[in-house]
Amino acid sequence: MTDFKLIADDEWRQRLSPEEYHVLRQAGTEPPGTGEYENTTTEGIYTCRACGHEIFRSTEKFSSHCGWPSFYSPAGNDNVIERVDNSLGMRRVEVLCANCESHLGHVFEGEGYQTPTDLRYCINSISMKLEEKSVDK
């Protein structure tokens, strides 16, 4: 089994496209409204594009109209890492894959969405792959 946290930067560059590398390994952001999963309602499991680790499920996805796919909860408490991000002159909480520590997006709270958690995991489509399958709530 690969320990993705030990993969060197050169290998990540070979495994990922330049756009994927920019978002996943350099904490970039895809332009709003351009991601393939922003408006997807297909049932399934979202996995990290870098390592295949399960990160989100379609059952927790909701339409926030923010320009990126939104979820109110990750697939499990240990599936993502959240850490404070003070870049760009603001305080945000970055969301990373718990398996390979690739950048997925950010999580915001208190925005008033009618979800069970009042959280919005704002995730780059390019950081995920959707495995279409039936998902239990």
In the chain, count of helices (H) and strands (E)? Answer: 2, 9
Helix (H, G, I), strand (E, B) or coil at 86: coil
Q: How far apart are CA 94 and CA 55, in angstroms?
A: 14
Q: How far apart are CA 42 and CA 120, in angstroms?
A: 19
Catalytic residue among 48, 97, 100, 122: 122
Side chain identity, residue 128: M
Degrees (nearest 5) of the Cα angle 103, 76, 84? 40
Active site residue 97: no
What are the residue numbers of the active site? 122
